Amino acid sequence: MDNRQEWWRGAVIYQIYPRSFMDTNGDGIGDLKGITRKLDYVASLGVDGVWLSPFFTSPMADFGYDVADYRNIDPIFGTLRDFDEMVSEMHKRGIKLIIDLVLNHSSEKHKWFEESRRNRTNAKTDWYVWADPKPDGSPPNNWISVFGGSAWEFDPARGQYYYHQFLKQQPDLNIRNMAVQDELLDTAKWWLDRGVDGFRMDALPHCIHDAQLRDNPPRPLPPPDGKTVIHPYSMQWHTYDKTQPEMIPFLKRFRALTDKYPDRMMVAEVNDDKTVETTISYTNGPEMLHTAYDFSLLVHEYSAAYIRKKVEEFFATPHDSWPSWALSNHDSIRVASRWAVNGKSDPAQAKMLLAMVTSLRGSSFVYQGEELGLTEAVIPPEKRQDPGIGSTGTGRDGCRTPMPWDAGKNGGFTTANECWLPVPPEHAQASVTAQERDKNSMLSFTRSFLKWRKGHPALLRGNLTFESVNENVLAFTRAGNGETLFCAFNLKPTPVTIPLESGWAPVEGHGLPSRAQGQSVELAGFGGFFGRKKT
């Protein structure tokens, strides 16, 4: 296959959360014109593409993941003309654009649902998942919403419950209905025709439910330890409310559509009880999706053994799937805080982690602000916005705060008196402007490392083999395209010396601290080493 049609293999894709990137109209909320204004900055990072979180017309119950019109732009973000200009300017800079496609559910304000809930005889009556109550009036089964509570909401007009795996304002589409599939595919075609380069497919395992609506079995949990937050959603095995086999032909239809366009790709979001198995099944072979990333590295567990285990699980059996990896996104605590050793974030660790995740075999997703080493913001209760707070403790607001462009008011994000979420003082101090003046900053490192990385074909598409050198060091070789590299990353703040087999020559220019001497390498705290096989 022509490699130009597989630009996504080994690519680094930058996630933009539009509400929080750049505001140009002074309302305290980011917009599409703000993204366009900052595209030179995005290009300077050395990324290959952008994943843009939802910007569709929406009541914003879940900040755009409750779509009321799949073919229009919400006025707070701008217009279709603004979108077209943004796409054109991205492409001028060689940046691909992947947009979020929310397939599992719409907003309750979508015209489809407003018609569907009217009665049981309308043209859209089975476009959503409806079910009769049990004889005692209770919900049809025991399925639980991701945000807590029953996943069923009673609608008096129809005298039935509708299914919502997230907020009650996000009713689940009935993707078993071929008319719904056709409409979603036609929507995807509409955006492809408009010039997008692909889709990030939201909450994909959720899209099809068990036709018999069988109860999920209980899931044993460890005894309370006073630290771990237990969510009701984790008290069940999600055997019947998600990840059904009927998803496969649906995804094949999507692949057939995108294959009609050159250089397009689809990345699945996967998070379920059998994440690796599902990820592979959704991406294995030329008829399936191009890649998928899961939540394996978006958790609190942090060790070389854990990261190695999760990567090895993916490659444990022969298949034709290509993984994608991420350490942060708009739904998770920022990695600079989540993986901070002894509770203290460290710029050296942030540099090492970015180099590590973009050196794994696969594609990489970097969340806005990760290139600045931003920590999780602490949002006062009265300023919180996240509708999922009830199920996630403090919610997801801490990773969604506006980008700090300078040290001025609101971090230079907006001219409004207030942003939709506050900019923490520590973020303003770590602003783009401040870091651009510092050649040792996280931003400077990101730019130089990603540029350096592109000069090493083994890091883009080479095979990966792990090496055991030290319990605190993640080490592996990448081999392919005429190059073999040895990569080692110290995950701890204390220096460590590891053995180095003969035949490896240090590669300079990556920016991580280490020193090779004979047949050993001293890795600084949070240091890293790259060696090339001598020829």
For residue 235, give both structure tokens: 């008290």
- Other Cβ atoms within 10 Å of 192 Cβ, number: 17
User: Dihedral sign, CA of 492, 496, 502, 505?
Assistant: positive
Q: Indicate the residue type of 381.
A: P
Q: Please give the C-alpha separations between residue 120 and each of 87, 154, 278, 326, 447, in angstroms, as whole numbers.
A: 42, 14, 35, 43, 57
- Other Cβ atoms within 10 Å of 381 Cβ, number: 8
Pick left, alpha or beta for residue 237 (phi over 0 → left; psi -120 to 50 → alpha; otherwise beta): beta
3-state secondary structure of 500: coil
Find all residues with CB under 8 Å of 344, minimum gap 6, and list them: none
Q: Indicate the residue type of 504.
A: W
Only one residue has tokens 């309302």, namely: 27
Find all residues with CB under 8 Å of 115, minimum gap 6, and list them: 122, 123, 124
Q: State how far the Cα of 362 lies from the Cα of 10, in Å rounded to an integer.
A: 5
Catalytically annotated residue among 202, 241, 371, 376: 202
Catalytically annotated residue among 172, 197, 269, 397: 269
Q: Has 202 been annotated as catalytic?
A: yes
Whether the Cβ atoms of residue 441 and residue 460 lie closer than 8 Å to each other: no
Active-site positions? 202, 269
